[in-house]
Amino acid sequence: MALFELPLTNYPDSEATFSLEGVSYVIRTRYNERAGAWFFDLSLDDGTALITGKKVVVSWLLSGFREAGSNIPPGMLYASDTSASDIDPTLEDFGTRVVMRYRESTGW
């Protein structure tokens, strides 16, 4: 079982492509000033939307057991506060203090 960090930036609207357990996914992150929070979308690399507009909350699954569907990554995608203070990311510290991690499903 592998656990790894997805290298994301705190640019207020960005996309990155990652291979998670052999499938290519696009993660779009964006900061909503009015809400004072980060949100993300997950799609297949062909543009098929899987998760849209989900708020990034530290220590809560962003994908995993609650999502249904064969296209959702089988592992757990979550935000982690590296300072252990469990504070959600701000505009300035997403990708540094708060990182997005993926834990592969193999070996559970």
Tens digits of residue pLDDT in 10-23: 899 999 999 999 99
Higher model confidence: residue 106 or residue 86?
86
Query: Cα-atom radius of gyration of the chain, to the nearest Å?
Result: 13
Q: Quote the pLDDT of residue 20.
A: 93
Q: Quote the pLDDT of residue 105.
A: 87
